[in-house]
Amino acid sequence: MIEVVDKVSGKMPRVVLTHSSGASAEVYLHGAHITSWKVGEREMLFMSEKSHFAPGKPIRGGIPVIFPQFGAGELPQHGFARISEWELEGAELTDDGDVAVNLQLTESELWPHPFALRLGVLLGADSLMVRMRVKNTGSAPFPFQAVLHTYFAVEDIRETAVRGLTGVTYVDDTLAGNPREVEERQEIRFSGETDRIYVDTPNKLSVNGVTIEKSGMPDVVVWNPWIDKSKRMEDFGDDEYPRMVCVETGAIEPPLTLDPGGVWEGSTVFTASRR
Ligand code: TA6
């Protein structure tokens, strides 16, 4: 079922997707932001209890859509897509009973380049596929980065493992000079602030019981703010870091370039292990 819920008691408009299996997802038009993905009654994504839901501010948690800039730069932190109001392009039930919704963003006063950015969401019984599609609708090439900044809910960060990045080179953003290292561990575990961009990664990895399979998205970011950074984030609780980990998929390092009329697509499929 697809329900467009807008202007409910002053809340921001959102689309609620419900699968016949009982799975569900929730997507705000603000930022095309997925704030919930449930497999049955199990919430798979982390949302901060201190998140803003306000024009011009990013939502903290779920799956922020990062475009055209990752991190700091000329544009607002992590670009403008996550703080823009998107349009609902369409929604449908597919032949095999999955639920699909497409949202689109086609302009920003913050960026001189004409573009068409589409986010496609496909909800299955135990999977969620998210696809980004960028088209250069202008007459000049433009550089961009594109990331799904996914916040996974975990029971305890100290019991959490990310697998599938062994042997991959990463940029460590927690160390001065952002050195490049090679990941030697079979399992990435957490005992402090972790902020790493893994470059040119395998297309299949996992975090706890969730399998991540991606296409067109060469890079992966693994992030947990831990104690001190949590305290510096006003839209994130000081005690929330043990219940989340970001495993982000996208194109970051180096930025991509899209020629006039060119199209880039990247997608990630999250599949929850059956409990
Ligand atoms: O993806 C990791 C990261 O770039 C971290 O450095 C941290 O800044 C995080 O994103 C959250 O950024 P935000 O702008 O959403 O607070």
How many CB atoms neighbour CB 185 within 10 A? 12
Q: What's the confidence (pLDDT) of residue 3? A: 73
Return the structure tokens found at 119.
């986010």
**Measured from the CA of 149, which atom of ligand 1 is nearest?**
1
CA distance 156 to 190: 10
* Amino acid, single-letter form, for residue 265: E
Give how far Cα 79 sits from Cα of 43, 51, 68, Å. Answer: 27, 18, 5
Q: What's the confidence (pLDDT) of residue 48? A: 98
Catalytic machinery residues: 149, 248
Among 83, 246, 248, 249, which is best to mutate for testing ligand 1, by the most ligand atoms less than 8 A from CB?
246
Cα 56 from chain centroid (whole Å): 18
Q: Is 58 in the pocket of ligand 1 (CB under 6 A)?
A: yes
Protein residue with its CA nearest to atom 2 in ligand 1: 223
Q: What is the pLDDT of residues 57-69, one digit of tens each?
A: 999 999 999 999 9
* Amino acid, single-letter form, for residue 116: A
Q: Are 151 and 62 contacting, i.e. CB atoms less than 8 angstroms apart?
A: yes
Give how far Cα 9 sits from Cα of 6, 12, 13, Å. Answer: 9, 9, 10
- Residue 115 — left, alpha, or beta (φ > 0 → left; ψ -120 to 50 → alpha)? beta
- Residue 82 — left, alpha, or beta (φ > 0 → left; ψ -120 to 50 → alpha)? alpha
Can you list the residues of the chain whose pLDDT is less than 70? 5-10, 275
Q: What's the confidence (pLDDT) of residue 1? A: 75
Question: In terms of DSSP H, where are the helices of the chain?
Answer: 226-232
Q: Is 248 in the pocket of ligand 1 (CB under 6 A)?
A: yes
CA distance 170 to 126: 30
Q: How many residues are given for the chain? A: 275
Q: What is the pLDDT of residues 169-225, one digit of tens each?
A: 999 999 889 899 999 999 999 999 999 999 999 999 999 999 999 999 999 999 999
Rounded to the nearest angstrom, the distance between the alpha carbon of 131 and the centre of ligand 1 is 21
Rounded to the nearest angstrom, the distance between the alpha carbon of 71 and the centre of ligand 1 is 7
Q: What's the confidence (pLDDT) of residue 7? A: 58
Cα 239 from chain centroid (whole Å): 22
Q: Which residues pair with 16 in a beta bridge?
A: 3, 26
**Measured from the CA of 71, which atom of ligand 1 is nearest?**
4
pTM confidence score:
0.97
Q: What's the confidence (pLDDT) of residue 9? A: 61
Q: Is 71 in the pocket of ligand 1 (CB under 6 A)?
A: yes
Q: Is 20 in the pocket of ligand 1 (CB under 6 A)?
A: no
Q: Is 219 in the pocket of ligand 1 (CB under 6 A)?
A: no
